[in-house]
Structures are given as C-alpha cells and as structure tokens.
Amino acid sequence: MVAQTENEHALAALIIEALNLEDVTPEDIDPEEPLFGDGLGLDSIDALELALAITQKYAIQLKAEDANTHKAFGTLRTLNAYIEEHTG
C-alpha cells in the first residue's frame, strides 16, 4: 500500500462520508487502486454523489466530457491531483 498525502487522506474521508461506505477507513483506500469497478466497486450513482460532495467542499464542477475527468476518477491520487489543479 502506497502512503497517502494529507490532502488525499482528507479526500478519502470525504469519499467515505459522501457514499456511506461501511467497513472502510480513509487509510484503507490505496491512493493508486481504482475507485470504480474493481477497487472500491463504486457505481454511477456513487460517481454523481461524489461529484456533488466535491463541488460542495472544493467549489469546483466536474465534467465527464473533459477527458481528464475520466482519468481523474481513476484513483484517489488522480482525483486529488485533479482537485488540487482546479482549486489552484
């Protein structure tokens, strides 16, 4: 398991809170494991709920049309990097 940065840890906590994930602590989310499909097994409803939580906390709107967002939603690390880049 790769170590999380401070921001990644905060984002992991947000994911768990927004999606009511049980049996998962922020430390359990490997920053380089896929969030959707094989990793945490999140689905499209989760993606919408998570996007809304991110909008509310970080004041940025996610766009799937933007090819970067597809990559961003890959792992905790890429999602955090996307948020850091767009919040400046």
Partner 1 sequence: MAEARALAEQLPQHSYVINLHADRYRYLRAFCAAVIAGQCTLMPPNRQAHTLTQLAETYPDSYVIGENGEEPAFSSTSNAEVPTVDSEQLCAIAFTSGSTGTPTPNNKYWYTLEEGAKGNARLLLGNNTGHLNMVATVPPQHMWGMETSIMLPLFAPVAISNKTPFFPQDIADAVNELPAPVALVSSPVHLETLLKSGVKLHGLKQILTATAPLSRELAISLESTFAARVQDVFGCSESGILATRNTSTEELWNYADFFDLYLSNDGIRIRADHLPEDVLMPDIIELVGDRQYRWLGRHADMLNIAGKRGSLADVNHRLREVNGVVDGIIFAREEQPDRLAALVVAPGMDVSDILSRLKDRVEPVFLPRPIYKVDMLPRQETGKIAVKAVQDMFNRIHASKAN
Among 61, 71, 85, 87, interactor with partner 1 by CB under 8 A: 61
Amino acid identity for residue 53 in this structure: A
**Residue 26 has what DSSP assignment?**
G
Counting contacts by CB under 8 A, is residue 47 touching partner 1? yes
Among 3, 38, 67, 88, interactor with partner 1 by CB under 8 A: 38
Counting contacts by CB under 8 A, is residue 23 touching partner 1? yes
Counting contacts by CB under 8 A, is residue 1 touching partner 1? no
Q: Contact 82/69 with Cβ under 8 angstroms? A: yes
Cross-strand partners of 36: 42
Beta carbons within 8 Å of 73's beta carbon, 6+ residues apart = 35, 36, 47, 79
Counting contacts by CB under 8 A, is residue 33 touching partner 1? no
Positions that interact with partner 1 (CB under 8 A): 22-23, 37-38, 41, 43-45, 47-49, 51-52, 55-56, 61-65, 69
